[in-house]
Structures are given as structure tokens and as C-alpha cells.
Amino acid sequence: MVVPGTLFEELGFNYIGPVDGHDVQALATTLKNMRDLKGPQLLHIMTKKGRGYAPAEKDPISFHAVPKFDPASGTLPKSAGGLPTYSKIFGEWLCETAAKDDKADGDNPGDARRLRHGAVLA
């Protein structure tokens, strides 16, 4: 088992964290304490996307990457149907590649989060 900071420390970084990114006071204190450290630093800050905004906490998938909208109503605008998104392009490419090569694999930082919320990956 690898301890989270071990990899970075092996690369010469001082690894600090993880720190709760929603605890602003603790984060500020950590940053102040880091000022006197020598060498490269890596501060691992963890946050929960949408925290503090009830509609986003209730539906993190829909509120993952939103365009401009009215936060008072929480209503998201309908898609304009313009250019395809990065996710759409990547998904299509991955499906085409996987159809040709059974060793093909792709990963996206959001994949695990979507799966936890019941999304289905094609």
C-alpha cells in the first residue's frame, strides 16, 4: 500500500494534506505554516463540488459543469445544441477505439464520482 504523500516525497516534494478546502481558517493556517518550508511543496486540498448550494448537492451530475444560470431559481438552461462537448468527443473516440482494440482504456477524473451517483458509462 502506498501512503498518499509517499510518491510526491520520493520525487522531492514536501507533501502536506489532505486538507479540507472548505475549512478556510485551517487552509489559511496551513498556507502560513508552509511559508517557511524549504524546497518544492505540494498541498493536497480536498473539496466537494457544489458544497453549500443545495441544488448542486442534490444533483451533482447535472451541476458538474454548468453554463451561466440563475442560482436563485436553480434552473439550468436548455442546451443550445452547438458544438459537441469534450465528454461527448472523448466518449465517442473511446467507444470507436475500444471496438478496434480490446486493450484500450480511458479514464476521466469524474468517472468514479458519476458511478457513485448511479450514472451509467457507455
Do 28 and 66 belong together in one domain?
A: no
The pLDDT value recorded for residue 88 is 80
Strand-pairing partners, residue 19, are 45
The pLDDT value recorded for residue 108 is 62
Do 2 and 29 belong together in one domain?
A: yes
pTM: 0.56
Helices then strands, counting H and E runs in the chain, come out as: 5, 2
Do 87 and 110 belong together in one domain?
A: yes
> What spatial distance separates the first Cα and last Cα of the chain, rounded to whole Å?
31
Q: What is the DSSP string of 77-107?
A: PPP---SPPHHHHHHHHHHHHHHH-TT----
Do 71 and 112 belong together in one domain?
A: no
Task: Quote the CA–CA distance of 16 and 86 in Å, as a whole number.
Answer: 32
Do 58 and 98 belong together in one domain?
A: no
Question: What is the number of domains present in the chain?
Answer: 3
Nearest 5°: phi and psi at 121? -95, 135
* pLDDT string in tens for the chain (122-residue length): 566 668 888 888 899 989 999 999 999 999 999 999 999 999 999 988 888 898 888 888 888 777 788 888 888 877 767 788 777 888 888 888 888 887 777 666 555 555 454 444 44
Domain that residue 58 falls in: 53-77
